[in-house]
Structure 1
Amino acid sequence: MAKSSGKPQRPKAIQPKGFRDYFGDEVRARRAMLDRITNVYEAYGFDPLETSAVETVEALGKFLPDVDRPNAGVFAWQDEDEAWMALRYDLTAPLARVFAQYRNDLPTPYRRYAVGPVWRNEKPGPGRFRQFYQCDADTVGAPGMAADAEISAMLIDVLEAAGIERGDYIVRINNRKVLNGVMEVVGLLDPNDPDAHAAQRGIVLRAIDKLDRLGIAGVRALLGAGRKDESGDFTDGAGLSADAADLIIGFMEARGNDAAATIATLAGLVEGSETGRSGVQELEEIGTLVSAMGYGADQFVIDPSVVRGLGYYTGPVYEAELTFDVLDEKGRKRQFGSVAGGGRYDDLVKRFTGQAVPATGVSIGVDRLLAATAALRAGQNTASGPVVVTVMDRARMADYQAMVAELRNAGIRAEVYLGNPKNFGNQLKYADARQSPVAVIEGSDEQARGVVQIKDLALGARLAANITTNEDWKAQPAQMEIKRADLVSEVRKMIARAG
């Protein structure tokens, strides 16, 4: 056995698996995105709500689709009083607890939005993290389809406010009641014994939810005996007969050329099921209401393939999909995919109160939406660093701080270089690393003449790549001498010129 050296072991500077760190521009981009989303929520009359990151396991319930992970997909631990607690896996389950706890003090319907990180104890992968941000809006206490239509319309407005243009997205709407009607027809759902065949129904739901990734053939395999993936892992199927699988596939492919054709096909598939018939009527009503608000077929569509993975949805479900192409990790073109989803969950509050409370809402994956807008902006100049005032004489730090104060008071982000000023080149390298648009330079000669030099760093980089002659440099100087009194106005012009 090797002997211990007795020296304390240094911890490894590495984040836990499935988590990541976010730096300056990433944090600012998220903050700006959240502002755009919540401005739309506010315009629709929703109020903010903040809840703790920790809930009791009992309050969270067991609704995650990834049931093969420990603790049903949540990060949980036992407190000193032996009560089990967990990090929230979404923002909806805490809302149900809040409404049940404060229902006598809250207005009904209660309209709230919430923003914050959530945690999933799931297997991490490329682009799949165990912590991510959500931005939700929900209406609790409104039973009619007008609430669902409003959520769908608001989702469209959020996408456009985020910078996704019409034609690059579609909001897809379905109803779990229609799927439940299909389940009744194939014998997987008994209205008198809703717990019967629950495991099979779960497999069917997860299979349908994987349509975009697996295609019809892959889903059909999961509806039947099961499927082996590329790695050789085998996933058990629902064990449906060929006829039952055909009916499920028919439901998934029921989308027609327009909403009326889709509704007609769905009505035929659920014939004999009262639940299914009710779901079809609700879909038709939502489509009518969203259209009445001025939204068209290029913005939303009735799509039976949308089922949503979480188990608490009881009626309409919706999903926002981005339709433009991006390159995957292997350089292949694919559509960007879903960035938001939600639906009606009329039984979630009932777990606490024993009384049915209608509720519906949407959750936006902020990190996914940020990745989408970054893909659309690829190649554009997104520099957003501060103006850097360089230090030519350490004894004149007060003068440099005065410059920075002037710039900040004028609303311009600015800082003094606080590192070792001996090497001026390192100061400019620092400014480049900070994505600074402008560097300010004032040595003793400039001070004596009442001037400063300002250097357009963004333009300088562009000119260096495209200009080869001295005449070209003179035509578009990246550095200029200005009067000290004109510092703020000239820096503002240079920032504007840099875009």
Structure 2
Amino acid sequence: MAKPKKTPRPKAVTPKGFRDYFGADVTERKIMLDGIAEVYHRYGFDPLETSAVETVEALGKFLPDVDRPNEGVFAWQEEDADWLALRYDLTAPLARVAAQFRNDLPSPYRRYAMGPVWRNEKPGPGRFRQFYQCDADTVGAPSVAADAEVCAMLSDALEAVGIERGDYIVRINNRKVLNGVMEVAGVLDPADPSKFEAERGIVLRAIDKLDRLGEGGVRALLGGGREDESGDFTKGAGLSDDQAGRVMAFMAARRDTGAQTCAVLSDLVRGSETGEAGVSELETIADLMDAQGYGADRAVIDPSVVRGLGYYTGPVFEAELTFEILDEKGRPRQFGSVAGGGRYDGLVRRFTGQAVPATGISIGVDRLLAALRMKGRLGGAEAGPVIVTVMDRDRLPAYQSMVSELRNAGIRAEMYLGNPKNFGNQLKYADKRNAPVAIIQGSDEAESGVVQIKDLILGAKIAESASLDEWKAQPAQREIARNDLVAEVRKILNGDA
């Protein structure tokens, strides 16, 4: 009789394109998000949490990755034939909320949201299918003053979490200007917006890759296509040399001041009503930013900003970190974009049939966290809890009493809950937990009303560099009165021991 086949054990691996977040990652992210939320709150924005799952109909398909399944979203069909999907950003769910609760919400409605989003994209180094976003949006404000305010708020948020002025720039453009350029170049027909839609999508993605591919790579994508170093070929937009030249001139239109840039853009879109309206809006935003004190050291008009999502209808913006880092090949380069957004006046209209103006910004949480660590604003091992060791199994209540005293005093603490037979393992556990202090009390200490307090921070420093005499002069472990436990632990944690 054949033996039944054993069911193979599942592989303990993280799915491709996903990652796990451990203690320090979660703690540092919360600290950063709390700082950003404080700025958003100061500007008058209210928090909002929406479901991670939306109907595909409500989300719409605005991602540029048309070659991926479901155009880049994780979607599935329910038994009742409705298609559901994980949200790919926090803006599309906001449009649904604004439409669903339009009679209850104030107008304009200002909200911020923070949470994970999912995109069915090809994963790569530093590119994950699940990542955190931090958004702030204003729904119901037609004036570009709302766009200028969002850009100012983004600048304040970056500085609040530790990105110094001079290490970032908020770059502002307008999709109407780009549409005007493409209209003049013959790639957009105002009477039939669906015409040349595929070509325009390629143009948008090509411009968005300017910092990575350079002018030559972008021009190739605007024309017949581009073959990369691996031999992979990317189809181009098929523009003529004249058409591609006008798009390239648009990307190179930035000048020293917003007024000078707008003058160049005005020449490029002359004859396009949409383009001229976009230039006028950029001029207004530049004036408003100057009036608030956000000069060229914090925000600039930059035509190379286009944003990849298809729902933007007006001003678009990005926050770029300008300090240098080394890439995987050791070459210096700028850190790059950590936030982006823009105006999307057509998104809510999908639900209501009525135009509802809206604008907002989204911060890439993981990228901003990485930047803060590189700048030394975050990082390093997080301090663990004080560890109360267990010397006698029958004295667990006494040890737990010590833990409670420390916790009630606001000190993070825990009792060792593993097998206490090997005391060395308890100290190894304390080391792995990055504990600053270990508390030791055997039966002899208990009878004398004392405890041994082991300063693990000092012990580590002494072990690194001290001589034998210094070791004896600065004992990392000492005896204290049991009643002084909280006070002595606090001294060590404050560096006063």
Q: Which TM-score applies when normalising by structure 2?
A: 0.96
Change (3 A) 1:128 1:479: same
Note the alpha carbon deviations across 1:244-299, whole angstroms, 9 max, x for none.
21111111111112222212221221122221111111112112212222222211
Q: Which amino acid aligns with 1:35?
A: D
Match in the other structure for 1:464: 463
Q: Which amino acid aligns with 1:141?
A: G
Change (3 A) 1:379 1:351: closer
Change (3 A) 1:380 1:350: closer
Structure 2 SS opposite 1:17: coil
Query: Considering only aligned residues, what root-mean-square deviation do their CA atoms show, in Å?
Result: 1.8
CA apart distance, 1:4: 7.7
Q: Which amino acid aligns with 2:31?
A: A
Match in the other structure for 2:51: 52
Note the alpha carbon deviations across 1:435-481, whole angstroms, 9 max, x for none.
112212222333233222222222322232222x2232245443333
Q: Contact 1:458–1:498 at 8 Å: present in 2 too?
A: no
Match in the other structure for 2:407: 408
Note the alpha carbon deviations across 1:27-68, whole angstroms, 9 max, x for none.
222222221121211111111111111111111111001111
- Aligned pairs for 1:173-212 within 5 A: 173-212=172-211
Is it true that 1:496 corresponds to 2:494 in the alignment? yes
Q: Which amino acid aligns with 2:99?
A: A
CA distance in 2, matches of 1:477, 1:317: 60
Q: Contact 2:162–2:377 at 8 Å: present in 1 too?
A: no
Q: Which amino acid aligns with 2:323?
A: F
Structure 2 SS opposite 1:40: helix
Q: Contact 1:437–1:498 at 8 Å: present in 2 too?
A: no
CA distance in 2, matches of 1:488, 1:361: 48
CA apart distance, 1:380: 6.2
CA distance in 2, matches of 1:78, 1:356: 30
Q: Contact 1:315–1:344 at 8 Å: present in 2 too?
A: yes
Note the alpha carbon deviations across 1:110-129, whole angstroms, 9 max, x for none.
11111211110111111111
Note the alpha carbon deviations across 1:65-120, whole angstroms, 9 max, x for none.
11110101011111111111111111111111111111111111011111211110
What are the ranges of 5 or more consecutive residues in structure 2 without an aligned counterpart?
Answer: none
Structure 2 SS opposite 1:355: coil
Q: Which amino acid aligns with 1:404?
A: V
Change (3 A) 1:106 1:380: closer
CA apart distance, 1:378: 8.3
Match in the other structure for 1:327: 326
CA distance in 1, matches of 2:91, 2:479: 57
Is it true that 1:424 corresponds to 2:423 in the alignment? yes
Q: Which amino acid aligns with 1:420?
A: N
Q: Contact 1:456–1:498 at 8 Å: present in 2 too?
A: no
- Aligned pairs for 1:85-164 within 5 A: 85-164=84-163
Match in the other structure for 1:284: 283
Q: Which amino acid aligns with 1:153?
A: A
Note the alpha carbon deviations across 1:351-394, whole angstroms, 9 max, x for none.
11111110000111111111111222289644221111111222
Match in the other structure for 1:317: 316
Is it true that 1:480 corresponds to 2:478 in the alignment? yes
Note the alpha carbon deviations across 1:159-198, whole angstroms, 9 max, x for none.
1122111121111111111111111110111211111111
Change (3 A) 1:338 1:459: farther
Q: Contact 1:75–1:119 at 8 Å: present in 2 too?
A: yes
Q: Which amino acid aligns with 1:419?
A: G
CA distance in 2, matches of 1:307, 1:381: 36
Structure 1 SS opposite 2:495: helix
CA distance in 2, matches of 1:445, 1:295: 67
Match in the other structure for 1:303: 302
CA distance in 1, matches of 2:44, 2:214: 40
Q: Contact 1:170–1:321 at 8 Å: present in 2 too?
A: yes
CA distance in 1, matches of 2:452, 2:473: 17
CA distance in 2, matches of 1:340, 1:50: 20
Match in the other structure for 1:170: 169
CA distance in 1, matches of 2:278, 2:326: 37
| Identical-residue share of aligned pairs (%) | 73
Structure 2 SS opposite 1:412: coil
CA distance in 2, matches of 1:475, 1:317: 63
Match in the other structure for 1:453: 452
Note the alpha carbon deviations across 1:181-224, whole angstroms, 9 max, x for none.
11111011121111111111110000000111111111011011
Q: Contact 1:389–1:441 at 8 Å: present in 2 too?
A: yes
CA distance in 2, matches of 1:380, 1:99: 38
CA distance in 1, matches of 2:107, 2:377: 44
Q: Which amino acid aligns with 1:149?
A: A
CA distance in 2, matches of 1:478, 1:149: 56
Match in the other structure for 2:80: 81
CA apart distance, 1:413: 0.6
Q: Contact 1:344–1:360 at 8 Å: present in 2 too?
A: yes
Match in the other structure for 1:351: 350
Identify which range, 226-235 or 438-447, moves more after superposition: 438-447
Q: Contact 1:452–1:481 at 8 Å: present in 2 too?
A: yes
Q: Which TM-score applies when normalising by structure 1?
A: 0.96
CA distance in 1, matches of 2:335, 2:242: 33
Q: Contact 2:24–2:381 at 8 Å: present in 1 too?
A: no
**Paired residues, number:** 496
Match in the other structure for 1:7: 6
Q: Contact 2:340–2:363 at 8 Å: present in 1 too?
A: yes
CA distance in 2, matches of 1:333, 1:473: 44
Is it true that 1:339 corresponds to 2:338 in the alignment? yes
